[in-house]
Amino acid sequence: MQTVGNILPVTFLPIEGLVLHSRLSNSPALSNYSPFLQTYQGGKTPILGQKELTRMGYSLAAYPLSLLSASVRAMEECLEKIGRNEVLEEGVDLKPFKELKQIVGFDEVEEMEERYRM
C-alpha cells in the first residue's frame, strides 16, 4: 500500500471501502501508520462527522476540495456583485482587513520591515 510519510491516504471510497481501509491501516503490520481520509461532498466517499471517523480509526481527515469549492463559490458571488456595480462589504462579503492581514502574515512582514529599516 502506498504511504505518504507515516500516513495511509485514501480518497474516493464508498463506506465499505472506508471501513476496510481503516481496518487494514490499524493492522499490526501497519501499526506505525495513521489512516488519512480526504473527502468531498458529492463524491463517492461519504461525508462523516469527526466522531464517526474517529470511531472507525481515522486520525486525520482533510477537506481540500470542499474548501476550494467554498472559496470558488464565494469568489463567484463577489464577482457577480462587482459585475452589478455593487460594493463588496467588509464583514459581509470580505474578511475584515485587520483579520486578513493576520491570516496572510502581513503583520510579521511589517514587523520585519520595521526591524530591518535602513
Residue 27: burial class (beta carbons within 10 Å; 0-12, 13-18, 19+): exposed
What does the mean pLDDT of the chain come to? 75
The span from the CA of 83 to the CA of 110, in Å, is: 33
Contact indicator for 12, 47 with CB cutoff of 8 Å: no
Helix (H, G, I), strand (E, B) or coil at 35: strand
- Residue 42 is predicted with a pLDDT of 72
Instruction: Give the 3-state secondary structure percentages of the chain, helix then strand then coil, rounded to 5.
Output: 50, 15, 35
- pLDDT for position 50: 79
pLDDT band at 8 (very low <50, low <70, confident <90, very high): very low
Domain boundary assignment for the chain = 1-87, 88-118
For 28-48, the pLDDT digits (tens) are 544 555 566 666 677 766 777
Which residue(s) pair with 4 in the sheet?
A: 7
* pLDDT (tens digit per residue) in 76-108: 999 999 999 999 999 999 999 999 999 999 888
Could you tell me the pLDDT band of residue 75, with boundaries at 50, 70 and 90?
A: very high
Sign for the CA dihedral angle at 74, 75, 80, 82 comes to positive
d(CA 30, CA 114): 50
